[in-house]
Amino acid sequence: MSNKIGFFVCHCGINISSTVDIKKLLEYAKTLDGVVISKDYKYMCSDVGANLIKDSIKKYKLDSVVIACCSPRMHEHTFRSVVEAGGVNAFNLEIANIREQCSWAHDDKNLATEKAKSLIRGAIAKAKLLEPLATSKIKVTQKALVIGGGIAGIQTALDIAEEGHKVYLVEKSPSIGGRMAQLDKTFPTLDCSSCILTPKMMEVANHPNIELLSYSEVVGIDGSIGNYNVKVKKKARYVNQDKCTGCGDCVAACRLKDRIANEFDEGIGKRSAIYIPFPQAVPLKCTIDAETCLMLTRGKCGTGPLCVEACESNAIDFKQKDEEVELNVGVIVVATGYDLLDPKSLYEYGYTRSHDVITSLQMERLISSSGPTKGEIVRPSNGEKPKSITYILCVGSRDETQCTWCCRIGCMSALKHVYLLKEKLGDDVEINICYTDIRSFGKGYEEFYRKIRGMKTNFFRGRPSEVRKSGDNLTIDIFDTTTNKLFEINTELVVLIPALVSRADAADFSRILRISQSADGFYLEAHPKLRPIDTFTGGIFIAGCCQAPKDIQDSVAQASGAAARAANILSKKELEAEPLISCVDEDLCSGCTTCISVCSYNAIEMVKDGDKSHAKVNEALCMGCGLCVATCPSGAMQQYGFKDKQLKPMIEETV
Amino acid sequence: MKSYVLYPGCVMPTEQYAYEMSIREVFPILDIKLVDLKGFSCCGEPIKSVNQMLSLALSARNIALAEKEGLDIFAPCPMCHLALSESKRILDSDPKMNEKINKFLLDEGLSYSGKSDIVNTLDLLYDIIGIENIKKHVKKPLKDLKVATHYGCHLIRPSEIGRPDDSENPQKMEKILEAIDAKPLDYPEKLDCCGALLTTNLPESALTKTGQKLQKVQEHGFDAFIDTCPWCHRQYDAKQIKAGETVAIKLEVPVLYLTQLLGLSFGISNEKLGLDLNLSPVNKLIIGGK
C-alpha cells in the first residue's frame, strides 16, 4: 500500500497543454488522497524532467509515482528507469495517458480537462495498490539459428557471424541460394544475380562461425528467448558428404539422366536422379532424389547402380538414414521465403492449356546462361525463337478472388525481361505488357521504367479476360483502360507474373515456431512500422519474403536488420525477464485447464497438489499477454501489475 | 425415387419443346419423378433491369409454390435457374427483403421460407443422380463421338452466388458425356458467348457471335455441339444457317441438348427425344455404332 504518491504532469510542448488545463490538474491532484507532491514540466521525458522526478522522490520520500503524459507505449520504459534511479521500484509507476487518449482526441478544453482529471484519479487509485516487482535474469545461449538459406538467410547468417556469434544456417533444399540463385539478372542495375550471390554463398561455406545444415528441416522448437532448443532433421542424401567431391561423374552416369523435371529450372529442364541443383551450389555435393532413384524406389537399378560404378571416391551410400540433431540457440531468425501462386488456379490464363504459357521464374531459367536452354529463348511447344512475347502482370495479385496484395516485384521483373529479351532476340521482337499499374517505386526503378518505355514495347493497361490457343499461336483478349478499346493480341509466348504467396507449409511451420501469420499467410511482424522485424515471440525475428513480398534490396536490408536485432540479445550474457506475467492463486484454482487451452506459449502446466491439481505458470515462457487471466472462470489467474484488486478501484475511480 | 417440381420457364414450353420432351424421357429412367404444378409465372429475370423488386417477388412466388408441395425445384433453363437462385440468396440473407416479399406473397396465401432447393439439369445429373448411375442406363454407347460442349453464361456466372459449375473451367458436362462414352474435347472458344442477349438491340452482332463460335467448332472437326440452355440452343440450332451467313460459311453442325444425347445413349427413339424438332443437321449423327 503506497501512501506517498508523487504526481507529475507533462505539457508535451503544447501537445497536452493546449487542450488540457495543466494548472487545474495540478491543483486537483493535490486534493486526492495519498498525493504528497504535484508538479509539472514542459517535457517530462527530458533530462530536466527526469531529474525533477528523481529529486522529488528523494525529497518527499515517495513510494509511488504517477505521471500524466503520453501513452505508456512511448515512455513507460524511460520513466521506469527514472523512477528506479530515484530509488523506487520500477513497477511502482503508473502512467495516465492524457495525450493519445485525451488531448489529441478532443477540442473542448474544459471537457478534456475533466476527462484528464478522471484519468489521473484512476491512475492514483491504482498507484496506491501497486506492488514492487522483481525482474528475474535469464541466461543467454549466445548462438543463433537462421532458417532458410536464400539471400535473406545468407545475409543474416553472415552479419551475425561477423558479430562473433556462432550461427546455424538450416536450408531445406540441397543447396543454399534460394530464389535469387534462379535469377539471371537483377533489376534495376542488371547485375548478374549469381555473380553477386555466389561470393556470399562461398563466404557462408567458409565462415568459421557458420555451421551450414543443408537438406535439413527444423521439426521442433522448445524453450524461449535466450534459450531455444531446436530439433533439426538432416535428410538423407544417400551420398557421404565427406567423401563426395562434387565432380558430377555420377550425375552423368545415372540411368535416369535428363528424365526428371528439375525443380531448380522450374520444371523446364531435366536432371538425373542423383543431382547437383546448379553449378554454383553450396555445398557442392550430390544428392539422390529418393522419390525417383530406381535403387531407392524399386531396390534395383538395371544390372547395378551406374552412379556407384562412376563414383571414384565411393561416396554413394544407399543405406544412409535421416538424422535428427538438437541445437541450442538464443535467437532464431526465420527467412523461409515465398512461393509463387500456382497459375493453374487461374484457368483463364491458359497455363494448363498451352505449353507456351510460362511463369516469370520459368522465363528467368530460359534467359539464364546456365539454364536448360543455355540462355536461348525458345517456345516450349516447338523449340523455336518467339517473334512475339506477351507478359501478363498481376496474375492473382491485387485480385479480390485470389491475393489482394501487390507482389512488389512483378512490374520490375517484367521490365527487366524486356531489356534482356531485346538484347537476346533483337530489337524487332514484339513485346506486349498487360499491366494494372506499373509500380516502379524503388531507387532507380522509375528511371529504368523510362528506359524500357523507349524500347519499342506495347503497354496495355488492363487484365486479359482469357488466353487461348489459336492455331499454333495464342490470342489474348484485353480491354485497354487507357484507350477504352478491346484489343486482341496474337502472340507466340505468354509469360505470367504470378502473385507472391506464403510458403505452402507456412501455417504448419508457424505452429512449430509459435509465431503468428497475418491474414495473407505471411508471418506477422510485431508492429508494422516500429517493430517490422520482430515477432510477438521474444527472440524470434523474421527477414525477407516470409514476412511480405519484397525485392532483393529490401530483403537484404531487412536481413541485416534482423541480424542486428538478434545481436541485441546475443551480445548479452543475461537478459532481464519482464515481471508483468501471470500468476496463480492456488487456493482458487479448480484445475479446469481452460488457461492451458488458450495459452499460445505453452507457459502453463497442471501440477498435482495432494488429491487436487492446479495451474502453474512457467515464468520464462509466459509473455504476459493476459489471455489466461481473462479466460479463467474462477479468477485464480492474475497478472502482476494488473491484478483485479488493482484494476477494480482504478475503474471505479475513473468512471 | 426423388421428386422435383419441374419449372418449365417460358422458352421451353412455347418454342424449345425438344428440351422438355427429352427431359421428360430421360429423368424418369434415372429415377427422378417430375411433378407439374399449376400457377407458375415468369421467373422474373427478363424484367430485373426494370423492376428488381417485381423480379424478386416473381421468383419468390414460384419458389413458394414449390415449397407448398414440400419439393425442390428443377429449373432446366439456366436463366430461370439463375433468377430463382439469386432471389433465394437475397431472401435467405436479407431479413428485411424477406419480410417485404413475404408481404406480397400473403395476398395469394403463399409464403417463402427458403426450404426448397433449386437445381438445374447439370447439377441434377452430375451431383444428385451421379455419373455411376448414368452409366448403368447406357444401352448405346456413343463410341468416340467427338463433342463440343457449350455451357452458356447463366449456368456458370456470376460465380459468387454459386452456380452449377466453375466459371472459368466448367467440367461437369464433360464428365457426363464421358459417362456415355462420348469424347468431349477442349477447344479454345468453349466459353464464348452465344450472342442471344444481343438479339433485341444488335441482331447482326448476335448472329455474328453465334456464327464465329460455330465456325470454329466446325473447323475443329467436332461431330456434335451440346448445350443445356434453350436460349443458346435457339441461336446455334434454329439460327444456324443465318449465323453462317455472317461469317460467310455453310455451317453444318448438329446441335443437341445434353438430355437428347443422353436419351439416344439410353436407347430412346429420335421421335420421343424431339430430334425431328432440331433445325440443325442432326441426321448427320450416327449413334450406337451402326
Cβ neighbourhood burial of A630 (10 Å; 0-12, 13-18, 19+): exposed
Are B279 and B152 members of one domain? Answer: yes
Residue A561's closest CA among A402, A353, A405, A333?
A333
Query: How many Å lie between the alpha carbon of A347 and the closest alpha carbon of chain B?
Result: 6
Q: Check CB contact under 8 Å for A469 and B188.
A: yes
Are B13 and B75 members of one domain? Answer: yes
pLDDT-derived band at A2 (thresholds 50, 70, 90) equals low
Q: How many residues does chain A have?
A: 655
Q: Which of chain B's residues have a Cβ under 8 Å away from the Cβ of A466?
A: 191
- B226 domain residue, yes or no: yes
Are B143 and B275 members of one domain? Answer: yes
Domains in chain B: how many in total? 2
Confidence (pLDDT) at B288: 45
- ipTM of this predicted complex? 0.83
pLDDT-derived band at B290 (thresholds 50, 70, 90) equals very low
Q: Which CATH superfamily is domain A143-235+324-335+509-570 in?
A: FAD/NAD(P)-binding domain (3.50.50.60)
Are B143 and B279 members of one domain? Answer: yes
Q: Which of chain A's residues have a Cβ under 8 Å away from the Cβ of B188?
A: 353, 468-470, 475
**CA-to-CA separations, A362 to A11, A144, A489, B150, B217, in angstroms, rounded:** 60, 34, 22, 33, 33
Model confidence pLDDT, tens digit, residues B108-147: 999 999 999 999 999 999 999 999 999 999 999 988 899 9
Are B101 and B209 members of one domain? Answer: no
Is residue A620 pLDDT above 80, yes or no?
no
Among the partner-chain residues B168, B186, B189, the one whose CB lies closest to the CB of A348 is: B168
Model confidence pLDDT, tens digit, residues A51-109: 999 999 999 999 999 999 999 988 999 999 999 999 999 999 999 999 999 999 999 99
Q: Check CB contact under 8 Å for A469 and B189.
A: no
- B179 domain residue, yes or no: yes
Q: Check CB contact under 8 Å for B188 and A468.
A: yes
Question: Do residues A22 and A40 lie in contact, with contact meaning Cβ atoms separated by under 8 Å?
Answer: yes
Are B235 and B102 members of one domain? Answer: no
Which of B55, B88, B119 delimits the end of a domain?
B119
Residue B73: alpha-carbon gap to chain centroid: 14
Do the domains A338-501 and A143-235+324-335+509-570 match in fold? yes
Separation of alpha carbons A329 and A335, rounded Å? 16
Task: Please report the number of interchain residue pairs, chain A to chain B, with beta-carbon separation below 8 angstroms.
Answer: 13
Testing the interface with A: which of B185, B191, B213 to mutate, by most A Cβ within 10 A? B191
Q: Which of chain B's residues have a Cβ under 8 Å away from the Cβ of A395?
A: none
- B129 domain residue, yes or no: no
Q: Check CB contact under 8 Å for B188 and A470.
A: yes
Task: For residue B163, give the CATH number of its domain.
Answer: 3.40.50.11810
Confidence (pLDDT) at B1: 85
B205 touches A: beta carbon within 8 Å = no
Nearest CA in chain B to A468: B188
Those residues of chain A whose CB sits closer than 8 Å to some CB in chain B are 346-348, 353, 466, 468-470, 475
CATH topology of domain A5-127: Rossmann fold (3.40.50)
pLDDT mean over A421-431: 96
Predicted TM-score (pTM) of the model is 0.82
Nearest CA in chain A to B186: A353
Range of the domain at B269: 138-284
Across chain A, mean pLDDT equals 95
**Hey, what's the cell of A547?**
514476412
Which of B64, B87, B119 delimits the end of a domain?
B119
Strands A338-340 and A485-491 turn out to be: unpaired
Q: Which of chain A's residues have a Cβ under 8 Å away from the Cβ of B151?
A: none
Are B162 and B83 members of one domain? Answer: no
- B124 domain residue, yes or no: no
Q: What is the dihedral of CA A74, A76, A78, A81, to 10 degrees?
A: -170
- B125 domain residue, yes or no: no
Are B210 and B101 members of one domain? Answer: no
Specify the higher pLDDT residue, A173 or A576.
A173
Across chain B, mean pLDDT equals 95
Confidence (pLDDT) at A602: 82
Domain boundaries, chain A: 5-127, 143-235+324-335+509-570, 249-310, 338-501, 581-639
Are B40 and B165 members of one domain? Answer: no
B186 touches A: beta carbon within 8 Å = yes
Q: Which of chain A's residues have a Cβ under 8 Å away from the Cβ of B186?
A: 353
CATH topology of domain A581-639: Alpha-Beta Plaits (3.30.70)
Is residue B71 pLDDT above 60, yes or no?
yes
Confidence (pLDDT) at A138: 86
- B60 domain residue, yes or no: yes
Confidence (pLDDT) at A655: 87
Which of B65, B90, B119 delimits the end of a domain?
B119
Are B229 and B98 members of one domain? Answer: no
Are B273 and B165 members of one domain? Answer: yes
Model confidence pLDDT, tens digit, residues A212-252: 999 999 999 988 889 999 999 999 999 999 999 999 999 99
pLDDT mean over A641-651: 94
pLDDT-derived band at A459 (thresholds 50, 70, 90) equals very high
Model confidence pLDDT, tens digit, residues B32-57: 999 999 999 999 999 999 999 999 99
Q: Which CATH superfamily is domain A338-501 in?
A: FAD/NAD(P)-binding domain (3.50.50.60)
Task: For residue B25, give the CATH number of its domain.
Answer: 1.20.1050.140
- B127 domain residue, yes or no: no
Query: How many Å lie between the alpha carbon of A344 and the closest alpha carbon of chain B?
Result: 11
B93 touches A: beta carbon within 8 Å = no
pLDDT mean over A509-532: 94
